[in-house]
Structure 1
Amino acid sequence: MKNNQISISIIVPVYNVESYLEKCFNSVLSQKFTKWEMIVVNDCSPDNSQNIIDEYALKDSRIISIINEQNKGLGGARNIGLKYCKGQYIMFLDSDDFISDNSVLEQLYSQGLAYDLDVLDSRYNMLENDSVKAILPNKFKMLNEKSYTGKEYLDLVSIMPIVAWNKLYKRTFIEKHNITFKERKYEDICFTLECLFKANKIQNTEVIFYNYIVRPGSIMTSKPNKSSIEDAWSLCKDLESLYLNLNRNSQIEKSFFYSFVSISKLLSGYDNEEHKSEIISKLKRIHRKYRLQILSANKLGVKQKILLYLSPQLMSFVLNKVK
Structure 2
Amino acid sequence: MKNMRVSIIIPIYNAEKTLEKCFNSCLNQKWDDLEIIAINDCSSDGSAAICNHYANENFQFHVIHNRMNLGPQQSRPLGIKKATGDFLFFLDADDYIPSQSAINILCQQQIKTNGDVIIGGYEIIDDIQINRVIPPMIDTTDPVDKLVFFFTHSFRTLWAKLYRKNLFNGLAVPDNIYHGEDLILNTQIFAQSSFRVTSVDTVIYGYKRTASSITSNLSFDNALNVLKAEHWMYNYLYNQGLLTHNLVYNQLCLHAISKIIAAIKQRRGSKFDKNYFDFLYRIFYKPCPIKLRKQFPIHNRILIPLENFSPWLSTLYIKLLDKVTS
Structure 1 length as normaliser, TM-score? 0.81
What SS is found at the alignment partner of 2:100?
Answer: coil
**Maintained 8 Å contact 1:182/1:188:** no
**Structure 1 match to 2:280:** 287
Give the Cα separation in 2 of the matches to 1:254 and 1:303.
9
Q: 1:84 aligns with which of 75, 79, 82?
A: 82
State how 1:305-320 maps to structure 2 within 5 Å.
Answer: 307=301, 310-311=305-306
**Structure 1 match to 2:137:** 143
Q: 2:201 aligns with which of 206, 223, 234?
A: 206
* Deviation per residue, 1:60-108 (Å, 9 max, x gap): 1211100112212111111211111221111100000001111111110
Give the Cα separation in 1 of the matches to 2:5 and 2:129.
30
CA shift, 1:227, in A, is 4.9
Give the Cα separation in 2 of the matches to 1:153 and 1:204.
12
Q: 1:216 aligns with which of 199, 211, 227?
A: 211
Give the Cα separation in 1 of the matches to 2:235 and 2:40.
31
**Maintained 8 Å contact 1:24/1:95:** yes
CA shift, 1:263, in A, is 1.8
Give the Cα separation in 2 of the matches to 1:203 and 1:6.
18
Give the Cα separation in 1 of the matches to 2:297 and 2:286.
10
Task: Work out whether 1:254 is the aligned partner of 2:264.
Answer: no
Task: Work out whether 1:17 is the aligned partner of 2:10.
Answer: no
TM-align CA RMSD: 3.1
| Contiguous gaps of at least 5 residues in structure 2 | 308-313
What count of residue pairs does the alignment treat as equivalent? 302
What SS is found at the alignment partner of 1:122?
Answer: strand
**Structure 1 match to 2:51:** 53
CA shift, 1:240, in A, is 2.9
Task: Work out whether 1:185 is the aligned partner of 2:179.
Answer: yes
Give the Cα separation in 2 of the matches to 1:319 and 1:123.
35
Between the two proteins, what is the percent identity of the paired residues?
Answer: 22
CA shift, 1:116, in A, is 1.3
**Structure 1 match to 2:100:** 102
**Structure 2 match to 1:302:** 294
**Maintained 8 Å contact 1:294/1:305:** no
**Maintained 8 Å contact 2:220/2:263:** no
> Measured at CA, do residues 150 and 167 of structure 1 come closer, stay the same or move farther in structure 2, by a change above 3 Å?
farther
Code of the residue aligned with 1:172 in structure 2: it is N
Give the Cα separation in 2 of the matches to 1:223 and 1:31.
32
| Contiguous gaps of at least 5 residues in structure 1 | none
CA shift, 1:264, in A, is 1.8
Give the Cα separation in 2 of the matches to 1:126 and 1:69.
33
**Maintained 8 Å contact 1:150/1:202:** no
Code of the residue aligned with 1:171 in structure 2: it is K
**Structure 2 match to 1:241:** 235
**Maintained 8 Å contact 1:76/1:182:** no
CA shift, 1:28, in A, is 0.6
What SS is found at the alignment partner of 1:293?
Answer: coil
> Measured at CA, do residues 311 and 84 of structure 1 come closer, stay the same or move farther in structure 2, by a change above 3 Å?
farther
> Measured at CA, do residues 116 and 71 of structure 1 come closer, stay the same or move farther in structure 2, by a change above 3 Å?
same
CA shift, 1:198, in A, is 1.9
> Measured at CA, do residues 20 and 12 of structure 1 come closer, stay the same or move farther in structure 2, by a change above 3 Å?
same
Instruction: Single out whichever of 223-232 and 281-290 deviates more from structure 2.
Output: 223-232
Task: Work out whether 1:267 is the aligned partner of 2:267.
Answer: yes
What SS is found at the alignment partner of 2:35?
Answer: strand
Q: 1:116 aligns with which of 94, 109, 114?
A: 114
> Measured at CA, do residues 181 and 79 of structure 1 come closer, stay the same or move farther in structure 2, by a change above 3 Å?
farther
Give the Cα separation in 1 of the matches to 2:143 and 2:321.
29
Give the Cα separation in 1 of the matches to 2:82 and 2:18.
24
**Maintained 8 Å contact 1:44/1:67:** yes
CA shift, 1:238, in A, is 1.9
* Deviation per residue, 1:212-239 (Å, 9 max, x gap): 1111222x32264575355234323323
What SS is found at the alignment partner of 1:75?
Answer: helix
What SS is found at the alignment partner of 1:105?
Answer: helix
> Measured at CA, do residues 121 and 181 of structure 1 come closer, stay the same or move farther in structure 2, by a change above 3 Å?
farther
Task: Work out whether 1:35 is the aligned partner of 2:37.
Answer: no
